[in-house]
Structure 1
Amino acid sequence: MPPTDDLPGSSAPFSLRAIALPAFGPSLMFGIGEGAILPMIPLMARELGASIAMAALMITLLGLGSLLNNLPASFITMRWGERGAIIAAGFWSAAGMLLCLQTHRLELFALGCFMVGMSQSVYNIARQSYLTAAVPPGYRARALSTLGGVMRIGLFVGPFLAATVVHAYGMGAAFWIGIAGVTCASLIGMRVPDLPEPALPAGQAPVHTTWLSILKDHRRVFLTLGFAILLVSAVRASRQAVLPLWADHLLLAPAAASLIYGLAGGIEMLLFYPAGKVMDVKGRRWVALPSMIIIGVALMLVPFTTGFVSLLIAAMAIGFANGIGSGLIMTLGADHAPPHGRAYFLGAWRFMADVGSTAGPALVALLAAAVSLAVGVAATGAFAFTAAAMMARWIPPHRAR
């Protein structure tokens, strides 16, 4: 965990270490819980009689549940507060996993997957809103990058924990690991202190905000930088489809494809704190632009790879670029979120990001079917360059104060 530093311009020191357990502990456990069940969801669906296409759809339901619940999640966070939303999200996810584990009907299994996706949006908005308010602006990017990095570590560790019990006790054991993880996230969340309401300037009447008023007051941000974030999310999600599909195109063995994907993911996990440090010290542009430019160049080079080594180099570049962009979307959202109605703003912000995450792989698949996989990959690279240009235009050049 990063060392204690003094906040510039303040006499009181601030340390991420001091808030590590309540701030990042739930994220680690939530990531472990979800990571444990992800590889098992399609296999469990197949056991319940699903076709291959239907089994793949069960994973899609996780993302769809998150996408459709972003705006309701903002209402939950505003109504119950960040602490209450964190606790509720963990228990709701556990209920969804338990439904998946106990049912013998495919439609109820699908409902359980959708419930887990719903919990993701509530949890993520609540955690982002909490850190936005609890951490000084000079440490905001480091805090949010660490939040995203810890979640990735959990998603990385979860499948390995599940693998140790699945071999001995069957696929259902992975869901018990998942239930334990998200329940622990809720229990740790109970230790999160409630945040006080933001103070109003002297003489100012209480501010009444609604979701519609937030959209109206911040429509310029959503239509400019928000659209850039949509493209960033589309590029990031597309890479998860591009690398395995191109490895298959090159006739690489599944084990080789998994190794490439895993090494690229390992690079990402090493860079989340340095990325946040650069954003805090130098400004958001210093990470946003290199991240999208490098990932764009690497994606453009993927169609020219001819074997394991060349694809691995391109994948490592993509992993590096995505790693230095850790926490970027959350940080930009936190920078623009108002003190009053913060959860409403972040819910809309996350909705735009999730639209990009859903649309990106779908576009790659559409172009691959209509033209060729190489064209789909190149189009994703073009989106990265477009996102870089838009962020160069709309991200303020100075660092957060």
Structure 2
Amino acid sequence: MAGMSESETFGWRRIAVPAFGPTLLSAAATGAVVPIAALRADELGASIGTAAFVVALTGVGQLVGVLPAGALVARIGERATLVRAGLLDIVALAVAGWAPSLWLMGVALLLSGLASSAFFLARQGYMIDVLPQRLLARGMSLLGGSMRAGLLLGPVLGSVAIAPFGLQGAYGVAVLLAVGSVVTVLTAPDLTGDHERARAGEPHTGVLRVVRQHARLLLTQGIGVTVISALRQSRLVILPLWAVHIGLDGVDSSQIFAVAGVAELLLVYPGGWVMDRLGRVWVVAVLLSVVSTSFLALPLAGTKGELLAVALVMALGNGLGSGIVMTLGADAAPDRDRAQFLGAWRLMGELGHAGGTLGLSAVTALVSLPVAAVVLGATGLVGLGWTSLWVSRADRERGKA
């Protein structure tokens, strides 16, 4: 892993805007439209099932876009990828908000997902270059925290614009935020130019070949990443479903999500500090044990207060692990063909996102929502043992280096 050397001057203030500003704004753009995308599809005549499919196309774009995104970053560099992905997202958000037909909105959401994959992959590579090794986890945790903060901020800004302008108001806010992200990339100091110029002269290996070269790592630590990502995504789906299951309304559900979202930000930096000082495995173990146990406790939550308590525990455990997936990927990434490897690493996470949601839906449809919660909790506890084993080995190897 090639990052800033200890002899180079480093300061959080120096990298704050170029590192975290575009991520905050891009995530806020996404957050502004996520809550109302299904309503926009309904405006265009979609049934509930069709609306769910159209909204899911953003996730499909993120999944299918990760490996091509790795190849793109390897070819043109992180900064150029950030600009191109940002411009694509601006166009996609505008089309999704003002599309006259459902199919055109679906295409736009798919393109937005592709842009998101490229943007956040390039952002991870950028952070590897600007952070010294001793602060790597803290930087990745703050990057994850800026994404979470943006996803919290976006719906607030979008809701303000909906009252006077309708659903298009939220899309207009999203476009402005996405424009701000690109402008920040273009105007912020170029801190990684030397790294990118050095890599430009290296021969590039095909993405699939890089995947084969690192297959063992992807099938060991990578499976752990898949489990973590599956639990995280399932949490976002099951909590509102459980609110409906126990008879809460939309206001109650939104309040629970808002409080849990704020609580999640509290442990972002402490989690990174623990990873840097004590090892990645400690955060992995706490994250998986706390979130898994919360899933197992969810069937006992029969009131708003009890559901809030479960959601808060989940949020604190998940917040402590902010940036863990990116940190593990940065630790494992080779100096050569780094972007292609990070694309494969992110693919493992995206498979977890898709698999968690599909698994939750399948078990709920075949049995019940409480059983789905228990299955998720049990899966997380099994994943705890597997992931801790491989991450602890990686910690020891890194300590010897």
TM-score, length of structure 2 as denominator length: 0.93
Show the counterpart of 2:116: 120
Question: Is 1:91 the equivalent of 2:87?
Answer: yes
Question: Is 1:323 the equivalent of 2:322?
Answer: no
Q: Would the alpha carbon gap of residues 178 and 304 (structure 1) be closer, same or farther in structure 2, given more than 3 Å must change? A: same
Q: Give the C-alpha shift of residue 153 in structure 1.
A: 0.8
Written as runs of structure 1 = structure 2, the 5 A alignment for 1:241-280 is 241-280=237-276
Q: Which amino acid aligns with 1:327?
A: G
Show the counterpart of 2:132: 136
Structure 1 runs of 4+ with >3 Å offset: 7-13, 197-200, 205-208, 397-401
Show the counterpart of 1:231: 227
SS at match of 2:205: coil
Show the counterpart of 2:287: 291
Show the counterpart of 2:206: 210
Q: Would the alpha carbon gap of residues 199 and 84 (structure 1) be closer, same or farther in structure 2, given more than 3 Å must change? A: closer
Show the counterpart of 1:171: 167
Show the counterpart of 1:183: 179
Q: Contact 2:85/2:119 (CA < 8 Å) preserved in 1? A: yes
Show the counterpart of 1:313: 309
Structure 1, residues 295-320: CA drift from partner, whole Å, max 9, x if none?
A: 11111011122212222211111111
Q: Give the C-alpha shift of residue 178 in structure 1.
A: 0.8
Q: Contact 1:49/1:106 (CA < 8 Å) preserved in 2? A: yes
From 28, 35, 38, give the equivalent of 2:31.
Answer: 35
From 98, 101, 104, give the equivalent of 1:105.
Answer: 101
Q: Contact 2:222/2:345 (CA < 8 Å) preserved in 1? A: yes
Q: Contact 1:83/1:192 (CA < 8 Å) preserved in 2? A: no
Q: Which amino acid aligns with 2:55?
A: I
SS at match of 1:39: helix
From 178, 193, 196, give the equivalent of 2:194.
Answer: 196
Identity of aligned residues (%): 35
Q: Which amino acid aligns with 2:113?
A: G
Q: Give the C-alpha shift of residue 354 in structure 1.
A: 0.4
Please, what is the CA RMSD of the aligned residues?
Answer: 2.0
Structure 1, residues 2-48: CA drift from partner, whole Å, max 9, x if none?
A: xxxxx999455522221111111100110121111222211111111
Q: Contact 1:131/1:144 (CA < 8 Å) preserved in 2? A: yes
Q: Contact 1:23/1:192 (CA < 8 Å) preserved in 2? A: no
Question: Which whole-Å CA distance do the structure 1 matches of 2:338 and 2:97 have between them?
Answer: 36
Structure 1, residues 109-129: CA drift from partner, whole Å, max 9, x if none?
A: 111111111111000100001
Q: Contact 1:33/1:158 (CA < 8 Å) preserved in 2? A: yes
Question: Which whole-Å CA distance do the structure 1 matches of 2:273 and 2:14 have between them?
Answer: 17
Q: Contact 1:236/1:322 (CA < 8 Å) preserved in 2? A: yes
Q: Give the C-alpha shift of residue 209 in structure 1.
A: 2.6
Show the counterpart of 1:158: 154
Question: Which whole-Å CA distance do the structure 2 matches of 1:332 and 1:397 have between them?
Answer: 10
Q: Would the alpha carbon gap of residues 159 and 206 (structure 1) be closer, same or farther in structure 2, given more than 3 Å must change? A: closer
Question: Which whole-Å CA distance do the structure 2 matches of 1:295 and 1:54 have between them?
Answer: 31
Q: Which amino acid aligns with 1:56?
A: A
Q: Contact 1:8/1:138 (CA < 8 Å) preserved in 2? A: no
Count how many residue pairs are aligned between Structure 1 and Structure 2.
391
Q: Give the C-alpha shift of residue 198 in structure 1.
A: 7.8
Question: Is 1:75 the equivalent of 2:64?
Answer: no
**Alignment gaps of 5+ in structure 1:** 1-6
Question: Which whole-Å CA distance do the structure 2 matches of 1:228 and 1:57 have between them?
Answer: 28
Show the counterpart of 1:3: none
Written as runs of structure 1 = structure 2, the 5 A alignment for 1:351-362 is 351-362=347-358
From 11, 14, 19, give the equivalent of 1:23.
Answer: 19
Q: Which amino acid aligns with 2:224?
A: A
Q: Give the C-alpha shift of residue 350 in structure 1.
A: 0.6
Q: Which has the higher helix share?
A: 2
Q: Contact 2:29/2:178 (CA < 8 Å) preserved in 1? A: yes
Q: Would the alpha carbon gap of residues 249 and 102 (structure 1) be closer, same or farther in structure 2, given more than 3 Å must change? A: closer
Q: Contact 1:29/1:154 (CA < 8 Å) preserved in 2? A: yes
TM-score, length of structure 1 as denominator length: 0.93
Q: Which amino acid aligns with 2:63?
A: L
From 381, 390, 394, give the equivalent of 2:390.
Answer: 394
Greater alpha carbon shift after TM alignment, 13-22 vs 324-333: 13-22
**Alignment gaps of 5+ in structure 2:** none
Q: Would the alpha carbon gap of residues 198 and 184 (structure 1) be closer, same or farther in structure 2, given more than 3 Å must change? A: closer
Question: Which whole-Å CA distance do the structure 2 matches of 1:142 and 1:261 have between them?
Answer: 25
Question: Is 1:346 the equivalent of 2:342?
Answer: yes
